[in-house]
Structure 1
Amino acid sequence: MKSSIRFKLSFMMFLEFFVWGGWFVTLATYLISNLQANDAQISSAFSTQCFGAIIAPFIIGLIADRYFNAERILGILHIAGALLMFKMYTATDFAGFYPYVFVYMILYMPTLALVNSVSFNQMTNPEKDFGNIRVWGTLGWIVAGLLISYAFHWDNETSLKEGLMKNTFLMTAIASLALGLFSFALPKTPPKAKKGEKVSIREVLGLDALKLLKDRNYLIFFVSSVLICVPLAFYYQYANTFLSEIGLANPTGKMTFGQMSEVLFMLLLPVFFTKFGLKKTLILAMAAWVIRYLCFAYGNAGELSFMLIIGIALHGACYDFFFVTGQIYTDNKAGEKHKSAAQGLITLATYGVGMLVGFYIAGVISEMYKSQGGDTAQIWQHIWTFPAIIAFIVMALFAIFFKTEKKLPVEKIS
């Protein structure tokens, strides 16, 4: 790959995830401090990601793959996204904010597939090259968090009282506009499907892969993947707000430890996979979820702040060891014919249905404990204990019912 193309793809990934990390991490904190949103409203705002994940296959499968170059659609979606971000920046109440975030996530979620399409189209050896390009997305997310906490200080107590958290949307709008314009300079990525070629809704949604669920082991994994999204939703929805409310300094910056650990655990994944195999690696991931939420439940911003840092840093083990391993397992089970359909189905089920249910439950649990009143630390202890219990139950059921399989080829994750 030419160095100029490598730079363009890396910069594209950097901005793609800078845009996401620049507002999504602090969304709940913003909604509470700026718009005085309640838990039901916070849940509905986060659920827009799920609707975006459900609708994204239609945009990609029915439009992007058939009629237009991927880089052009990417540019148009991000320019439109910049305008929506600016409208979110100017919103004064939740009723005025929600329609914009809803439309924004429907436009943003397809871009995750589009940046991959643009990248893969330039690679002769994706297994070797993609990781080196994709890591710039993780760096973009990290830089966004560091800027919010350490450069602009938008998440400290004084800034929150002054309503400065809304500036995250202005920063993201500028980055989204930059990516939108830059996208038109990306390598040409023409439509995959031939003109006139018919495609069914079943193919777009990956429903052809439903036959995989006839395999008992894969069915158990599939159900576990959906259920583990409930604890995951708690983290996305409330981690930043929790860290802010209990007084941890620079919470958004410290949350970037989670993305830093992603890089580390991705490197460790082949080692764990070789030593422990598929089942034990997945169980280790779910155990990490349990430990993370217990750390949040019993840690504090004082002498036990190290527990909070451990909980954040376990994000790499939680995500890489479960979801990345699961993607590899799905790829292996699906076979050549249904690979794309299977990945589409598992994404729809987890980030669409699973997270949608998870965000709703997180809102209900949070509202229930907060309505009972009491000390802030005690309320959060009750809230975080709930996803810890769910993760433990999912882990136990998976350990009992999932039968050990042969190790998958390590080269798939190397």
Structure 2
Amino acid sequence: MATLASSPELARTAPQTGARPAAIARWLQATAFLVVCIVVVGGITRLTESGLSITEWNVASGVLPPLTEAQWEAEFAKYRATPEYRLEASLGGMSLGDFKFIFFWEWFHRLLARAVGAVYALGLAWFWIRGAIPQGFKPRLVGLLALGGLQGLFGWLMVQSGLTGDMTDVSHFRLSLHLLTALALLAGLVWTALDMRRLARDPAERPAPLTKGSALVALVLFVQLLLGAWVAGLNAGHAAYDWPHMNGRLVPAFDWSSGVLWTLTHDPYLLQWLHRWWAWVAVAALVWLARRVRRADRRASIAVHAAFGTMVLLGIATVMTEVSLWVASAHQLVGALTVAATVWAIHADGIARRQARLPATK
């Protein structure tokens, strides 16, 4: 019979020379913070209708905003050629000052995107060259770099969708792809940082597994985030401003005449209603997860409860304030924090379930 110490699965290994998991964890956490910032600024960009104000993607020259009046007039002229301006913004008599406001948010959003890419890519190169990456983690770290690149690509494809034809907004499908990829990147950064933290404490630690129960919770939360992205993309937050009713009815009558699939994916009224009530399914799943990890990691449990509780309250407040810019932005911020807290709890759940199975290996 194999003993606990001699079991191949549990055998301790000598620390890798030069590996610096604690430093890598701090770098990943810093990058995750920047991703949260870019999610929030992206939300403000959407809420202020700023996303189409910059019609080109110039990686180097786009770092600086226009510096002269001539440059501002040139950028404004490009925007005036877009469907959004011709069919919508021009009706309100947009001035150059108004354009500068929306330009700022899109420029700042792209600047943060560059910062995320630079911090991650340069950090990865530094740790790689110095041989500081623990064994087995290089593919995962490269994968996160690729995911960040995809997120940027999806952002530009999203912008392009609003610059052609008669579109006055970007595609809500592409917006959701852009946002959910950012949140997936955030989840990967947090998960990997947690693995690195454990590795710094014990070089024999292995990456946390994903349990079936936690995977189901993640799926429930994914659906809620997807619905939220579609609500944002279709301006569906303006479909009703009362709660818990919608325009005086708890369960409104929906128009299915365009087909079930189209209505489920395009009707702002239905999507706001689904986002409202699927939230309670997400709450039930997150309560279950938080209680499940309470003994293993009490702080993770508290973080999940605090995050989803605040997110629900801010969601209701967003509706009742008629989509106030700062309330809605706070709702999106806490949504990102809820993802981070959920990943923390799911990671703790994987560690706890694995440790619970250890006696069976004796």
Largest Rg, 1 or 2: 2
TM-score when normalising by structure 2: 0.34
TM (normalized to structure 1)?
Answer: 0.31
Greater RCO (Cα-Cα under 8 Å, separation 6 or more): 1
| Structure holding more helix per residue | 1
